Amino acid sequence: MRRPRSSASTLVRRRARGGALALLGVVVIAACGPQRRSDPLRGRLIVLDSTVALGEQLFSRECQSCHPRGERGLGPALNDKPLPEWAIALQVRQGYGAMPAFSPDDLSDAELNAVISYLKAVRNAVPVVPVVRR
């Protein structure tokens, strides 16, 4: 006896679900690197871009308690996050483990993009090196 064929929409949903699970696996593997990837941000990041400034404010309000200043807190270090922007956005929207999901009602798309811009600015910041005097 032959199995009935699945409809095209069912196949598309199954493939999309499988792709989403595979993508989540990649995100989890990439996020499970060393606890500290580089020195934490020291001092104040000089922000000249208004989007980055908004991202810094939102990060302080929404993320700082778990991801403090690039050092490992409850969440992983973010000062050298190796994920591309779309993967960070996916992880913020979906949540994972102890990290809650942030819906568009919690954090708009523009606000999420501002936070990602801030994370990129932190990643690209030149670390402060202490001057040793002899």
With 0.75 as the threshold, say if the pTM is over it.
no
Which fold does the domain 13-124 belong to in CATH?
Answer: Cytochrome Bc1 Complex; Chain D, domain 2 (1.10.760)
Higher pLDDT, 107 or 98: 107
Q: What are the backbone angles phi and psi of residue 54, rounded to the nearest 5°?
A: -65, -40
7-11 average pLDDT score: 63
Q: Give Cβ neighbours of residue 118 (< 8 Å, ≥ 6 apart).
A: 47, 52, 54, 55, 56, 58, 59
Q: Is 99 helix (H, G, I), strand (E, B) or coil?
A: strand
Domain range annotation of the chain:
13-124
